[in-house]
Each structure stands twice: as C-alpha cells, then as structure tokens.
Amino acid sequence: LSSSSTYTVPPSVLLLGPDNAGKTALLTLFERGAKPSATHTSQVSHSIELNASTDSVTKASFRNHDDATGTHTKFFLVDTPGHGKLRNVAMGKLARTEKTKAVVFLVDAAALGEQETLAPTAAYLYDVLLFLQKKATSKGKDKASIPVLIAANKMDLFTALPATMVKAHLETELTRIRASRSKGLLDSGVGIDDVGSEEQDGWLGEYGSEKFTFQQMGEFDIDVEVLAGSVLTEEPGADKWWWWIAQRI
Ligand code: GTP
Ligand code: MG
C-alpha cells in the first residue's frame, strides 16, 4: 500500500456487564433499528458494524442507522458473554480490542435491588474500572482514558431502580469491595502516606478515601455516567445510550 491510502480501523465500543443484563438484546435492537430479537445466553463475543449519523436531524436516535442522507461515523459494537465462567472472554476483549473508544456496562436495574445481583454486578464493574484505571495511568503506548456508560436497563419493569439509585447502590457496593480487597494493606498498620506506588495502583479511585464515588474516576480522566433505559420498550428506550455512544466515537 502506498502511504497515501492509509487503512483505518473503525473504533470499537464494548458491551460489558453480567449475564442477563440485556447486552445481546441491545445489540440486535441497534442492528435492526426496530424490535430486538430473542436471545440466548452468550458464550462468545460477537461484533457488528454500525453507523452513527452525525449531522442529520435523527442523530440522537439509533434509528438513524438506516438513514443515508447524512454523514456517518462507522464503528464496531462488540457484544461479550456475561457469565462469570466466561469472564476471561470479556476481559480479554477489553484488553485486546484495538481502538476501544468507550465501554457500555449494562446492568439489570430491575434486579439490582437484590444483593444476589448487586454483589456480582459490582464485582465485575470493579474489575473493569480497575483495569481502565491502570490503562489510564500506564506509561506505555496503550495509555488511554476510556469513558464508561453504566446503562441501567429494564426500566419498563416495576422493580427497576431509578438511575440515581442504581448509581448509589453500585457506589456503596464498590466501596465495600474496595475495603475488603485492600484489607491486607490496611491491617498491616502502614499509614496511607507510607505505602508504595504499587499498593496505590491496586486501589480504585481516590487513594485512601473512605467512600468510593464514580466521580473519583475523573482523577484518571475516566468519565463514568449512569443513564436509564430499556431495550424492550420504546419508553424510555435506548436512544440516550446511542447518543452517549455517538458522541464518543
Ligand atoms: P448473557 O449473554 O448471558 O451475558 O446475557 P445478555 O446480557 O446478553 O442478556 P440478553 O440480551 O440475552 O437478555 C436477557 C433477558 O433480558 C432476555 O430475556 C431479554 O429479552 C430480557 N431483556 C433485555 N432487555 C430488557 C428490557 O429492557 N426489559 C425487559 N423487561 N427485559 C429485557
Ligand atoms: Mg448475550
């Protein structure tokens, strides 16, 4: 190839989150532009190519993908399996996908009020955020601050927590996880001013803070936002998530 015809890989947006959150349903919704299709538990990753319109009046809607009148940005949307036993598949995508521009972490807002859903969801999110924090502070050529959308799905169900509660529940649980993972460090009697950078590297968010907040990820230029939506119903639908993605690719 001559140097004038440079081949560019479209950016990727990764769909992460626990099993049953609605990742595959969301992918099929964006792909079809209409009703999502029935899904099964995913065992492998799957990516599709989409276009986000940037200059038409419909740019805020995912239905713009079949509007050919405007200028489009091409990107890959990558679905991953959420099952805990396949976590290496999803984390591998996070580690290896070239040009990842954003992560959409889907959660089931209707089940997040239950500790049995909240605990594994937060544990997974903790691993993702810590990975991104390390990536943002690394000195290599892979250094990047990747924004995260926490997409609170299934708002059509009456048990669904509103976005503010989803955020609060996750922050509380992430605080708990952070405390238990750093217990060895705190028990050793070393003051927080004395610890080495290695310990600090394993701490999510603002070092030594009592409570974890998503805002602390801002220290690493990682923007974390929580937005409510639904894949299966028109209202509130998935347009807000689409618009969040479209602005980051
Ligand atoms: P894994 O592949 O196991 O990681 O799960 P997944 O995140 O891909 O979930 P999937 O898309 O298969 O959806 C799981 C179930 O949730 C399906 O029965 C969907 O129909 C349902 N679901 C997805 N979105 C919504 C929603 O907005 N509201 C309701 N009520 N159900 C939804
Ligand atoms: Mg799936």
Comparing 24-33, 35-44, 149-158, 188-197, the range with the smallest average pLDDT is 188-197
5 in a structural domain: no
Q: What is the largest CA-CA distance in the chain?
A: 64
Residue 245 CA to residue 249 CA, distance in Å, equals: 7
> Is residue 61 very low, low, confident or very high in pLDDT (cuts 50, 70, 90)?
confident
Q: Say which residues have a Cβ less than 8 Å from residue 184's Cβ, sequence separation at least 6.
A: none
Contact 219, 200 (CB under 8 A): no
Q: Which one of 125, 231, 235 would you pick to mutate in the ligand 1 pocket, going by the greatest count of ligand atoms within 8 A of its CB?
A: 231
In-domain check, residue 242: yes
User: What's the average model confidence in pLDDT over 171-186?
Assistant: 86
Q: Is the CB of 153 under 6 A from ligand 1?
A: yes
DSSP 8-state symbol, 108: E
In CATH, what number is assigned to the domain containing residue 208?
A: 3.40.50.300
Ligand 1 atom with the shortest distance to the CA of 25: 11
The answer on pLDDT for 59 being more than 80 is no
CB atoms under 10 Å from CB of 10, counted, come to 15
Which residue in this structure is represented by tokens 């940037």? 54
> ipTM score of the complex?
0.99
pLDDT for residue 87 is more than 70: yes
DSSP code at position 112: T
**From CA 98, how far away is CA 139, in angstroms rounded?**
17
In a domain, 212, yes or no: yes
In a domain? residue 192: no
Report if residue 189 sits inside a domain: no
Predicted confidence at residue 2, as pLDDT, reads 47
Please, how many CA atoms are within 13 Å of residue 74, restricted to the half-sphere of its CB?
6
Tell me, using a 6 A CB cutoff, whether residue 157 lines ligand 1: yes
- Note the pLDDT of residue 97: 80
What are the φ/ψ torsions at residue 33 (nearest 5 degrees)? 75, 0
**pLDDT score, position 65:** 73
SS3 38: coil
> Count of domains in the chain?
1
**CA 98 to ligand 1 center in whole angstroms:** 27
Mean pLDDT of 162-181: 96
* Model confidence pLDDT, tens digit, residues 201-242: 789 999 989 999 999 999 999 999 999 999 999 999 999 999
The answer to whether residue 96 scores a pLDDT higher than 60 is yes
* Residue range 67-82: mean pLDDT, rounded: 87
The mean predicted confidence, pLDDT, of the chain is 90
> What residues make up the domain containing 111?
12-184+197-246
Q: What is the pLDDT of residue 169?
A: 98
The span from the CA of 177 to the CA of 171, in Å, is: 10
Is residue 133 domain-resident? yes
- Alpha-carbon gap, residue 111 to 124, rounded angstroms: 15
- What is the average pLDDT across 134-139? 93
The reply to whether 172 falls in a domain is yes
| 75: its two tokens | 């990107």
CB under 8 Å to 40, separation ≥6 — which residues?
24
Supply the pLDDT for residue 1.
47
On whether residue 36 sits in a domain, the answer given is yes
